Every structure is written in C-alpha cells, then in structure tokens.
C-alpha cells in the first residue's frame, strides 16, 4: 500500500531568527498573516502549541480559552486549513523551570497537568484528537536532582490523567534525548512506546518522530519510523535534518543527508503512512541569514524535497533490489541506490 501525503508545519517554523547568541533579525509576522501563507506554500494543516492557538492562556479561564479556540477554528476554516495537533508548551513558564510532570515541586506538577488539560480543551475546539508532548524539561542537568524511576512514574501518571480527562484524546510523545536538558527521560521512540504500555490505555499513546531528535540520539530516523510503524504508533512526524551531534538544528528536510531523507520517505510510503489520516509534519527553521522576504523557503523546499524523494522511491527498481538482497550483494545494492539518487 502506498502512502498518502499532506503537509503541516507550526507557526513557530516561520520565525524571527533569534538564537541563544543573538536577537531577532527578521520582523515578527502575526498568525493571521501566517495563516494566509500556508496554502501558497503547499500546506493544508497547522500544528499548534497551546499558546500559539490561544495566546496568554495562563490568564484566561477554561471557558474563555475554549471560546478563543473556537474563534481560531473558524479562521482556520476560512483558510481551508485543519489543525493537526496541539502541544502544551511546558518549557517557558517559570513554573516549568525544573520540568513539568517531573518537577520536584508538587505545585509545578499540578500546573503542568492542568495546562495539559487546557491544551486538550483547545484540541477539541480545533477539531483534532491529537495532543503532542515534547517532554522538553522532563530530565535533569545532574542525575542526583531527580529519581529516574519516580520521574518515569510521574510521566505515566500525568499521561493517565490526560487519558482520563478526555476519553477521545490520543497522546503522542515526541522523544528527544537532550537540549534543553543534559539528559531527558524519554529520549527515543523505544522509550516512548514502552512508556505507552504502562499507561491505562496504551492504544491511545503513540509517537511523533522528529528526524533531528533521532539523529541526536545516534539513531537512524527511518529505522525509528519503521519501529513505530510496527507498533501502529507512528501518528505524526517532524521531518527535518541535522548535521551531526550538536544543538538541534531543524535544518530543511534532506539538506544534510539526502539518502537518510530518502529512506524516511521510503519507509513511510512502503507502509501506507497517511492512509489513516496521518499528516507529514515539518519542524524546520530558516537560516538566521535569510532575509524576511525569502524566509519561508525552508518550508516549501522541504516539501519539494519530500515529493522528489517520493518519486525516486517509487521509481526504484524493486525487482533489482530484491535480487541483490537475495544474492546478498549489498555492495551492488549500495551502488544501485547511489546511482538512483544521483539520477
Ligand atoms: C523541540 C521541538 C518542538 C516540538 C513542538 O526540539 O521539536 O518544536 O516539535 O513542541
Ligand atoms: Mn519537533
């Protein structure tokens, strides 16, 4: 079965270019202007952090949050766009300095859970059943500051409270091994899928695999995807690229390692990704050097590369591949793939 591909990105993927060492270099673009850019760039869906959808939500009551999210839903409809997921942003507030669900302070843990419930309310108002958890600060700078068994149990308990709060919500963990933390508790797809088994309804806990995060863990993103597909748990992806073990770069898809990108497209297509409504999400950032007028090219380029790699994947002579596998001639298979990629 072939895949079916439609694309999303988040408003944070059109950004001002600030980094830890320097300020913004491009002016901010408001969300309503961004909304009008999606279709032109070839995208049909929007990924949201809770406060991308409802700014200043900490100062609003739950019913006010739902009302504002409802207004946003109407605006999305006007643009012909869907909401793919909502992710509680549990890494900026002062109450999440030491983590959200794994914070050592019970008041901060309660805040993280209540904020996650607000994110679920927003997801419902926006018409999506997907909640993404990037567990940004659920880890440590020094091992002694938290107990990893207790932390794991606290993440499970938090997810259980979300599953109980809304019997229709699906929770999608986005693993990442480090940054901002030295080590996080759910660094890989395997950790996330195993964690799902500890939850009260494992069938409603899946993964969002980000290419760069897998690479930062020293793993191959396409193998991570295949693993999640074997568990029917690949519910979304964050495609991008990453040049080795350093800060999370969110480079355009395929821009570092075309073959690695090809293999991600190939595994998704071979196993019918998208036929159950899954989206191809991008999590890419424009280079800081990019001028404002051309600061969305990383998005359209990533989509273009995905589609070009899809053509290559579909035009690969699978009979030859099978014959070389049967002959165990992987050197020739290597050359076949490289020649195919070189065109
Ligand atoms: C962080 C990251 C986040 C999530 C969304 O590395 O990838 O942008 O994807 O919360
Ligand atoms: Mn991501």
Ligand 1 center from residue 319 Cα (angstroms):
39
Q: Does the Cβ of 154 fall within 6 Å of ligand 1?
A: no
* Ligand with an atom nearest the CA of residue 119: 1
Q: What is the mean pLDDT of residues 266-293?
A: 98
Report, as an integer, the average pLDDT of 138-165: 98
**Residues sharing a CB contact under 8 Å with residue 277, sequence separation 6 or more, in sequence order:** none
Tokens 């504002």 sit on residue: 68
Taking CA atoms only, the protein residue closest to ligand 1 atom 8 is 283
Q: Which residues surround ligand 2, an ion (CB under 5 A)?
A: 210, 238, 283
CA-CA-CA-CA torsion sign (32, 34, 36, 38): negative
Query: Tell me, what's the pLDDT at 48?
Result: 99
Task: Give distance in angstroms: CA of 326 to centre of ligand 2.
Answer: 38
pLDDT of residue 186: 98
What is the model's pLDDT at position 180?
98
CB 85 within 8 A of CB 128: yes
Question: What rounded mean pLDDT belongs to the chain?
Answer: 98
Residue 87 Cβ < 6 Å to ligand 1? yes
Ligand 1 proximity of 251 Cβ (cutoff 6 Å): no
Which residues belong to the active site?
49, 52
Each residue of 299-314: pLDDT tens digit? 999 999 999 999 999 9
Share of the chain above pLDDT 70, in %: 100
For residue range 91-118, list pLDDT tens digits in order: 999 999 999 999 999 999 999 999 999 9
Give, for 210, the enclosing helix (H) or strand (E). strand 205-210
Q: Which residue's CA is minimally distant from atom 4 of ligand 1?
A: 134
Calculate the CA 62 to chain-centre distance.
Answer: 26
Q: Is 238 in the pocket of ligand 1 (CB under 6 A)?
A: yes
Q: Which atom of ligand 1 is nearest to the CA of 12?
A: 8
pLDDT level of residue 230 (50, 70, 90 thresholds): very high
pLDDT value at residue 205: 99
Q: pLDDT (tens digit, 9 = 90+) per residue, 6-57? A: 999 999 999 999 999 999 999 999 999 999 999 999 999 999 999 999 999 9
Q: Report the nearest atom of ligand 1 relative to the CA of 208.
A: 9
- DSSP class of 20: T
pTM as predicted? 0.98
Per-residue confidence band for 257, with pLDDT thresholds at 50, 70 and 90? very high
């Amino acid at each position: 079965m072939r895949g079916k591909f439609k694309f999303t990105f988040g408003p944070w993927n059109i950004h001002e270019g600030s980094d830890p060492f320097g300020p913004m270099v491009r002016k901010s673009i408001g969300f309503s202007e961004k909304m009008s850019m999606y279709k032109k760039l070839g995208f049909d869906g929007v990924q949201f952090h809770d406060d991308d959808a409802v700014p200043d939500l900490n100062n609003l009551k739950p019913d006010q949050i739902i009302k504002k999210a409802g207004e946003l839903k109407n605006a999305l409809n006007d643009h012909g766009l869907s909401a793919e997921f909502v992710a509680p942003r549990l890494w900026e507030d002062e109450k999440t300095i030491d983590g959200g669900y794994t914070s050592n302070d019970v008041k901060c843990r309660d805040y993280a859970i209540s904020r996650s419930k607000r994110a679920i309310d927003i997801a419902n108002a926006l018409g999506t059943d997907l909640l993404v958890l990037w567990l940004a600060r659920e880890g440590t700078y020094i091992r002694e500051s938290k107990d990893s068994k207790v932390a794991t149990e606290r993440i499970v308990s938090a997810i259980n409270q979300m599953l109980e709060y809304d019997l229709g919500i699906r929770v999608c963990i986005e693993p990442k091994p480090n940054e901002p933390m030295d080590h996080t508790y759910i660094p890989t797809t395997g950790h996330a899928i195993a964690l799902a088994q500890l939850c009260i309804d494992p069938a409603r806990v899946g993964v969002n695999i980000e290419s760069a995060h897998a690479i930062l863990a020293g793993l191959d993103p396409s193998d991570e995807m295949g693993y999640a597909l074997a568990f029917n748990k690949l519910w979304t992806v964050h495609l991008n690229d990453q040049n080795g073990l350093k800060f999370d770069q969110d480079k355009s898809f395929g821009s570092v390692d075309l073959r690695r990108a090809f293999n991600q497209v190939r595994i998704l297509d071979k196993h019918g990704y998208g036929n159950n409504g899954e989206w191809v999400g991008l999590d890419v950032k424009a280079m800081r050097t990019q001028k404002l007028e051309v600061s969305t090219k990383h998005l359209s380029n990533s989509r273009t590369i995905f589609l070009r790699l899809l053509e290559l994947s579909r035009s690969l002579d699978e009979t030859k591949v099978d014959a070389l596998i049967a002959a165990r001639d992987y050197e020739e298979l290597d050359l076949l793939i490289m020649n195919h990629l070189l065109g």
